[in-house]
Amino acid sequence: MVVPESDEPRETVGDVGEFGLIRRVTAGRRQPATTLLGPGDDAAVVAAPDGRVVTTTDVLVEGVHFRMDWSTPEHVGRKAIAVNVSDIAAMGAVPTGLLVGVACPRTTPAEVIEGMVSGMWQEAARAGAGIVGGDVVAAEQIVISVTALGDLEGRAPITRGGALPGDVVAVCGRLGWSAAGLAVLGRGFRSPVSVVGAYRSPEPPYPAGPQAAQAGATSMIDLSDGLLADLAHVATASSVAIDVQTSQVLVHQRLVEVASALGADARHWVLTGGEDHALAATFSDPAAVPQGWAVIGTVRRGGGVTVDGREYEKPPGWQHWR
């Protein structure tokens, strides 16, 4: 567990107690204007100026989505918020509030949970949202559940089902970095820090979602399971075919260097690596693709996802229970 070493016995969550822990992680925190009533009551009240609420939930399980010997508590907390808010952005919405549930063993050091929640508040602030409530319970391992709320600001939601033949496919955010970081950690290394850090706490481009919606995106998705795997969801929902052109997909030199050192394929990381939480969207007018987005492919009639006109021969991304 990546926490400061000390000879002093550490206070556990069992020592602090449920309500003591809640007071510690909520006291003195600033809330955005969208929080009308924050933590402390039976439920929170969050403004919904648009009249509609976009909502999503993700669950992170220790040993599956994070390892405490690979990440600090702050990293884990930031990641828990990022994976949820990126889904809000993928609908073209802005985040307004977050509900956090944490389950952990009684013997968990209180500083670990406090560190996680501190990281959550940091990432929530970066996204412009507040943590408005949640729950803490006992469990045999650490499990984090986050529900994110968002506002469409009067726009229609951008779903996976709107891509049209003739559209271009564009992405915003880093691709392959988290997969590279996971590969590095899996070999027992802790550097390069920039690559390992991308796995520990991804940095989704939150403003890019509403930006794409305003620019006329026809479909959009958060890239959590890998570029090809997630584009397959768009292709299925839209009843279209998508072709990715590798000549247009950026493979950062840092990833090339890491892949060379590990005997891996950097391009495979970029095409299939999950947990970067970049965004992919389709646009009918190539000239409308916003600054910061890169065109990487096209939408055609048919079905499925191809790479340079051919089926990709390796697994296209992450799937649970496989």
| Residues flagged as binding site | 42, 56-58, 65, 87, 134-135, 160, 222, 224-225, 275, 318
Known binding-site positions for ATP:
134-135, 160, 224
Give the Cβ contact number of residue 57 at 10 Å: 12
**Identity at 274, one-letter amino acid code:** G
Known binding-site positions for substrate:
65, 275, 318
**Identity at 200, one-letter amino acid code:** R
Which residues are CB-neighbours of 289 under 8 A, at least 6 positions away? 168, 170, 215, 283, 295
Known binding-site positions for Mg(2+):
42, 56-58, 87, 135, 222, 225
Q: How far apart are CA 160 and CA 4, in angstroms?
A: 44
Q: How far apart are CA 322 and CA 317, in angstroms?
A: 11
Ramachandran bin of 107, using left for φ above 0, alpha for ψ from -120 to 50, beta for the remaining angles:
alpha
| Residue 282 DSSP label | E
Q: How far apart are CA 10 and CA 8, in angstroms?
A: 6
